[in-house]
Structure 1
């Protein structure tokens, strides 16, 4: 016999109400807050991706107005940490790649760039920064788990980074002789400087740049006050623990300004310019303009960017110096009267500044160098047209590639017999003889200026030449 059908019984308690509203989804699942420090790591990985994958300028990503939203959403301390993570990852990127490849049984799958960036940000903390291993690993795993593209690799991230922590010393020893720079950059260094100098330049890229000051007067006195040392250029190099620049003695009074030692050389090559009319082309942010004004010249500072000119005026105001400022593309600039001299610090690949801008080797290439060298040649010809007969032009840039320096000058001289090269006066920089070339130009490389105790070494790679218009 069939069993009787049992009636469904309602649970005891509230009476059944078909019209009762269901809880809102947000009320059912409140997302947990992110772990402290995770937002910084996510932002750093995004910036690393933008630099490496999209060739985006690192400075642009951290710009206070137009920077990456993930960076702008961080407080000041976290922005500083994010920058340290990215710059260190870029500085050691090739060697980090060697380590990761050595630990993986199979290469990372195609399209796993996000995973690579997470691993590099995690590895940087373990190998090079003062971050506890467990924190670096935990946040990297959390980062991978939070991204649908990398979620399935979270166990791999955990295993790899823990192994890097365990084998830190052996792994670092194993990459001691590994390449630092991309192949395109390394090959040009070897071709132009030879293998020994090229190796020294490459090794210097692993150390962050120092902070140098150009002082209005008494460099020895300022070195004593600030605990620094006087460099062969006359600049004052601060110790690595100098602290925040705006809080140092002399900043508010305008007694000095931050300027790499090599960047201070071009303006010095004019010699005595008291009372002379000098135009500083491509002048912002104004360090060289300040040098020229402080040396007694009547200076016209030219730049095509209104915002950069504003910054230049603000810098000169702090220093108590004055110059005429003109907003113009220098190729369109027509002065009322010709100048006694012109300083052209031309746009370039910035390959001489990789210590302070470690993104440069990853966002520039040989095609950029050729394009910029052609531009520099046109700009130099224009600069020579702005000075009177007998006037001089100091041409400079912060590229370490000779295509943007020596070869530009050679081309201009070969094409215009009315222009001659004046050998740079060695007495202007008597303690930096290694920077003077046989042709009479200036060439600094990042391996120059040795460390001295706690004071770091190195200098930006710079080229400078003095040309005279004879007719």
Structure 2
């Protein structure tokens, strides 16, 4: 008996479902690559489906509660992931077409032995969803952000900013680059617009990063405008030795080298350090690279400057990683805050008298930002806050607080350029001489 070929589009649906299932299970989201799907159009569509399902997870949760009277079937393989992808398509991606959402979802259920018996349920649920798609499409966008974060963020940033967070989540993140050397001709060739300092933004990217102009020449690196702020604020004598703690993948290391410092880049993850080495080789930079635990690392000599981009909840990156909104709980943030304090303590030990210390996190949580500053000043009398002045961030003065701290969020626009920016917190300290 001749094997019947799979319907067109089924493979990409199955691959997308597998990736979504992994992320729903707690894995970090990374876009599907050429090894996953060779055809570029299939890959783009699969990534669009997965990203939309993750961005709209809160709204889809409400749909599932309404559509599945008895809840999700237990031990049902890819059923939930396929269903979420199809709901995302039916309700939020009408340009793709409703028929393929229903047909390919049922075919995907039939393809998996664990879900074959659920093909009828898949069809029935999606037909109900299709008949309610207009209503579902008008659901409150506040559902996009879990309630515990809405409560914290409204208190910290205000209702207007919170509404902008939902919009930023839907719009996603543009591509920001840090230039090795400012060159108007290169900015034009990239189709970019200038942000602040040496950051530029590509609003609409239709090519892979490594296909953009001057990639092979190492004339820029990918770095969100907010992530590029901390290294610019370090204040140490030119040519002095500085330490980049938790350095991989190396964007801040590259900035510190560009600024003229002698840089030691430290990380405890060998795989991430390999990525840093690759990035530095492309850029033509040669920091000292150390594989070590930043909590216990014993510096051979004190450093004139230290940049600690501490591991955190990463909630400030939700435009690119919407899964963090649903993976993070209050207990997770408390645990990360304790780790940050251990890292800070070792950074202070490694800092020379008169040295400059930057503490930063890509988090929107006050517990990982402002609260840590209070703890640092109480715990380390040798440290004093070195306030950041608004004029140090031209085009982003609104990010500097009255206390001289830096707080960005996705509703904030650098130099009034559309697209927002990551949520980041930055504080600068000086050790007594």
The answer to whether the 8 Å contact 2:146/2:325 transfers is: yes
What does residue range 217-236 of structure 1 map to in structure 2 within 5 Å? 217-218=181-182, 220-236=184-200
1:374-418 deviations in Å (ceiling 9; x for gaps):
111110111111111110110111011111111112101112211
The answer to whether the 8 Å contact 2:10/2:104 transfers is: yes
SS at match of 2:266: strand
Structure 2: gaps of 5 or more residues: none
- With normalisation by structure 1, the TM-score equals 0.84
Residue 398 of structure 1 corresponds to 362
1:353-381 deviations in Å (ceiling 9; x for gaps):
01101111122211110000111111011
Give the counterpart of 2:26 among 52, 55, 60.
55
Alpha-carbon distance between aligned partners in 2 of 1:219 and 1:262, rounded to the nearest angstrom: 21
SS at match of 1:58: coil
Cα separation, partners in 2 of 1:164 and 1:344, compared to 1, 3 Å = same
Cα separation, partners in 2 of 1:217 and 1:109, compared to 1, 3 Å = closer
The answer to whether the 8 Å contact 1:420/1:468 transfers is: yes
Cα separation, partners in 2 of 1:328 and 1:457, compared to 1, 3 Å = same
Identify the range of structure 1 (124-133 vs 352-361) with the bigger mean alpha-carbon deviation: 124-133
Identify the range of structure 1 (276-285 vs 258-267) with the bigger mean alpha-carbon deviation: 276-285
What does residue range 275-286 of structure 1 map to in structure 2 within 5 Å? 275-286=239-250
1:319 paired with 2:306, answer no
Alpha-carbon distance between aligned partners in 2 of 1:445 and 1:323, rounded to the nearest angstrom: 31
The answer to whether the 8 Å contact 2:309/2:360 transfers is: yes
1:293-317 deviations in Å (ceiling 9; x for gaps):
0111111111122222222122111
The answer to whether the 8 Å contact 2:315/2:364 transfers is: yes
Cα separation, partners in 2 of 1:144 and 1:445, compared to 1, 3 Å = same
1:340 paired with 2:298, answer no
SS at match of 1:330: coil
Residue 123 of structure 1 corresponds to 87
Residue 186 of structure 1 corresponds to 150
SS at match of 1:340: strand
1:200-222 deviations in Å (ceiling 9; x for gaps):
22332122111001002226443
The answer to whether the 8 Å contact 2:177/2:222 transfers is: yes
Cα separation, partners in 2 of 1:157 and 1:246, compared to 1, 3 Å = same
Aligned length: 430
Cα separation, partners in 2 of 1:219 and 1:431, compared to 1, 3 Å = farther
What does residue range 167-246 of structure 1 map to in structure 2 within 5 Å? 168-173=133-138, 175-218=139-182, 220-246=184-210
SS at match of 2:69: coil
Residue 337 of structure 2 corresponds to 373
SS at match of 1:263: coil
The answer to whether the 8 Å contact 1:451/1:458 transfers is: no
- With normalisation by structure 2, the TM-score equals 0.91
Alpha-carbon distance between aligned partners in 1 of 2:130 and 2:432, rounded to the nearest angstrom: 65
Structure 1: gaps of 5 or more residues: 1-28, 65-70
